[in-house]
């Protein structure tokens, strides 16, 4: 079996057109949607500048200093217009009317609670008119809150350690100097607030969406050349020789699935390198590298099994390839990959909720940017369902071919 897998991989990679189709197609498709179609979905005011309504109930002077420092950063001013409101009702009304993408409420005594290690909640209202912009801002808010929580825990630990090795007054002095130094460095970290280049296709196109969509499309479009080769083999003497060669007759199908999985994984290597760069750059995203690798490997197996099923359904190479291509396009549209789900009709969203490509996009997004195992169960269940269905029907069709 291993010799057959080695032979199949050599045959797949010997054709330059196969590689070009697998690698260039997802990039060109996403580039077309991102550069020509998606920008048309924005209103003029959204393309120009996004409005964020803010209500500051806390009168702490240090909070106001930090707030002014952040909002007056040139990179923030280029893309965000801060609108200070006088009441909670006014801010909520702005989000409901589409005048603001977000409404942020900084609560009263928030900094006082922070000083005395008490919990404090920052409320955020999201406008339904600005889903794409919110996909950019909400993860930033989330990671800033996480950064504050982890920083406070770290500082508490440092102070506790200082008190065990020095006098109380000396420890407080050193601790105070340390906090001032950390605060100054955080305010000077332009990378934390630099939103320029958030996407190579435009600063209003969220990084998470396009990277996750590229992962999904690289994996999905990899099935097209596999379908072509499998149909040829199932119609040629390689089929009868392969079945006769192995003691277990289903080894021939299993070999095709394994070969296809390895091919998709190799084709997806450029996107995996992108994922490694994210984690190696010590970015503010809270992802999981093992989860990313696991999702990619599982998705490759699912799409390879789907390719085997399509190859057994069709007897003509051209028909199988075109069907696989249109199937990927439909799954991409219905799954919110080619276009954000918020811009699709309700019936397409309902049908696309079970799209395997949409599931892969969501899973890679969680693995890259916001790892939470509890949120990944539904996507994994969708892929597992497609895997089981593909294997069961592939075995049934393979038995039918054997009887013929």
Q: What is the mean predicted confidence (pLDDT) over 109-118?
A: 72
Residue 73 has pLDDT above 60, yes or no: yes
The dihedral of CA 239, 241, 243, 246: what is its sign?
A: negative
Instruction: Label residue 400 exposed, middle or buried (CB < 10 Å: 0-12, 13-18, 19+).
Output: exposed
- Percent of the chain at pLDDT exceeding 70: 59
**Final residue belonging to a domain, choices 164, 193, 222:** 193
Report the percentage of the chain scoring pLDDT > 90.
7
Average pLDDT for 185-214: 48
Shared domain check, 11 and 69: no
Q: Is residue 155 part of a domain?
A: yes
Residues 271 and 224 in one domain: yes
Domain presence at residue 199 = no
Q: Judge if 57 and 19 occupy the same domain.
A: no
Overall average pLDDT of the 88-108 stretch: 86
Highest mean pLDDT among 148-152, 180-184, 301-305, 325-329: 301-305
Looking at the fold, whether 186 and 226 belong to one and the same domain comes out as: no
User: Is the pLDDT reported for residue 125 higher than 60?
Assistant: yes
189: domain CATH number? 3.40.190
Answer whether residue 198 is part of any domain: no
Residue 196 reports pLDDT greater than 50: no
Q: What are phi and psi of 129, to 5 degrees?
A: -90, -5
Residue 219's alpha-carbon distances to 66, 235, 263, 270, 332, in angstroms, are 44, 26, 10, 11, 12
Confidence of residue 202 (pLDDT cuts 50, 70, 90): very low
Judge whether residue 19 has pLDDT over 60.
no
Same domain, 155 and 180: yes
User: Model confidence over 207-262: pLDDT tens digits?
Assistant: 667 777 777 887 888 888 888 878 877 776 555 555 545 555 677 778 888 888 88
Residues 305 and 375 in one domain: yes
Domain boundary among 169, 193, 217: 193
Instruction: Give the confidence band of 386 by pLDDT, cuts at 50, 70, 90.
Output: very high
So what's the pLDDT on residue 76? Answer: 63
CB–CB of 271/218 below 8 Å? yes
Residue 14 is assigned to a structural domain of this protein:
yes
Higher pLDDT, 252 or 54: 54
| 262 assigned to some structural domain | yes
Same domain, 211 and 351: yes
Which pLDDT score, from 0 to 100, does residue 384 have? 94
pLDDT mean over 10-36: 56
Confidence at residue 383, expressed as pLDDT on a 0 to 100 scale: 94
Instruction: Assess whether 181 and 274 both reside in one domain.
Output: no
Q: Over 80: is that where the pLDDT of 380 sits? A: yes
- Could you read off the pLDDT of 363-377 as tens digits, one per residue? 888 887 777 788 888
pLDDT of residue 46: 42
Tell me the per-residue pLDDT of 339-362, one tens digit each, with 9 for 90 and over.
766 667 778 878 778 889 889 988
The residue segments making up the domain with residue 230 are 2-40+204-403
DSSP 127: -
Calpha distance 261→305 (Å, rounded): 8
- Enter the pTM of the model: 0.54
3-state helix, strand, coil in the chain (%, to 5): 75, 5, 20
Residue where one domain finishes, among candidates 158, 193, 228: 193
pLDDT of residue 37: 47
| pLDDT the model gives residue 159 | 67
Rounded to whole angstroms, the Cα distance separating 56 from 66 reads: 12
Does a structural domain hold residue 256? yes
Between 68 and 56, the higher pLDDT residue: 56
Are 368 and 236 part of one and the same domain? Answer: yes
115 and 215 in a common domain: no
* pLDDT per residue as tens digits for the range 135-178: 656 666 666 666 666 666 666 767 677 677 767 777 777 777 77
Which residues are CB-contacts of 35 (< 8 A; sequence separation ≥ 6)? 201, 202
pLDDT beyond 90 at 385: yes
Q: What is the mean pLDDT of the chain?
A: 72
3-class state of residue 10 by DSSP: helix
Q: What is the reported pLDDT for 146?
A: 67
> Domain total for the chain?
2
Residues 208 and 106 in one domain: no
In a domain, 229, yes or no: yes
- How much is the pLDDT for 303? 93
pLDDT band at 298 (very low <50, low <70, confident <90, very high): very high
Window from 14-23, 78-87, 196-205, 330-339 with minimum mean pLDDT: 196-205
Within this chain, do residues 116 and 158 fall inside the same structural domain, yes or no? yes
Could you give the C-alpha distances from 310 to 103, 123, 239, 337, 353, in angstroms and in order?
A: 49, 49, 16, 22, 22
In this prediction, residue 389 carries a pLDDT of 94
Report the length, in residues, of the chain: 404
């Amino acid at each position: 079996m291993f010799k057959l897998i080695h032979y199949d991989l050599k045959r797949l990679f010997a054709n330059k057109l196969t590689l070009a189709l697998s690698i260039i197609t997802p990039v060109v498709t996403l580039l077309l949607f991102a550069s020509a179609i998606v920008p048309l979905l924005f209103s003029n005011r959204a393309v120009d500048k996004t409005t964020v309504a803010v209500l500051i109930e806390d009168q702490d002077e240090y909070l106001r200093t930090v707030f002014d420092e952040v909002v007056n950063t040139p990179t923030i001013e280029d893309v965000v217009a801060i609108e200070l409101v006088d009441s909670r009702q006014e801010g909520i009304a702005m989000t409901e009317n589409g005048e603001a993408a977000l409404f942020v409420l900084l609560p009263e005594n928030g900094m006082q609670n922070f000083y005395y290690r008490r919990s404090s909640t920052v409320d955020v209202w999201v406008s339904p008119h600005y889903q794409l912009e919110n996909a950019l801002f909400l993860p930033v808010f989330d990671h800033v809150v996480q950064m504050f929580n982890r920083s406070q825990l770290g500082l508490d630990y440092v102070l506790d350690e200082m008190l065990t090795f020095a006098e109380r007054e000396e420890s407080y002095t050193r601790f105070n100097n340390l906090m001032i130094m950390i605060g100054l460095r955080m305010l000077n970290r332009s990378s934390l607030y630099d939103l320029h280049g958030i996407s190579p296709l435009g600063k209003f196109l969220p990084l998470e969406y396009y990277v996750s969509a590229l992962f999904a499309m690289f994996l999905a479009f990899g099935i097209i050349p596999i379908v072509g080769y499998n149909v040829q083999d199932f119609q040629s003497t390689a089929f009868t020789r392969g079945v006769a060669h192995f003691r277990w007759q289903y080894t021939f199908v299993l070999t095709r699935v394994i070969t296809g999985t390895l091919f998709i994984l190799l084709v997806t290597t450029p996107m995996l390198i992108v994922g490694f760069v994210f984690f190696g750059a010590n970015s503010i995203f809270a992802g999981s590298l093992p989860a990313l690798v696991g999702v990619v490997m599982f998705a490759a197996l699912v799409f390879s099994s789907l390719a085997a099923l399509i190859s057994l359904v069709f007897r003509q190479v051209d028909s199988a390839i075109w069907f696989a291509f249109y199937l990927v396009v439909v799954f991409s549209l219905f799954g919110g990959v080619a276009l954000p789900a918020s811009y699709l009709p309700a019936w397409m969203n309902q049908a696309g909720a079970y799209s395997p490509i949409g599931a892969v996009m969501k899973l890679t997004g969680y693995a890259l940017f916001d790892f939470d195992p509890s949120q990944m169960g539904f996507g994994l269940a969708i892929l597992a369902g497609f895997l089981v269905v593909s294997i069961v029907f592939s075995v049934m069709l393979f038995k039918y071919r054997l009887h013929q």
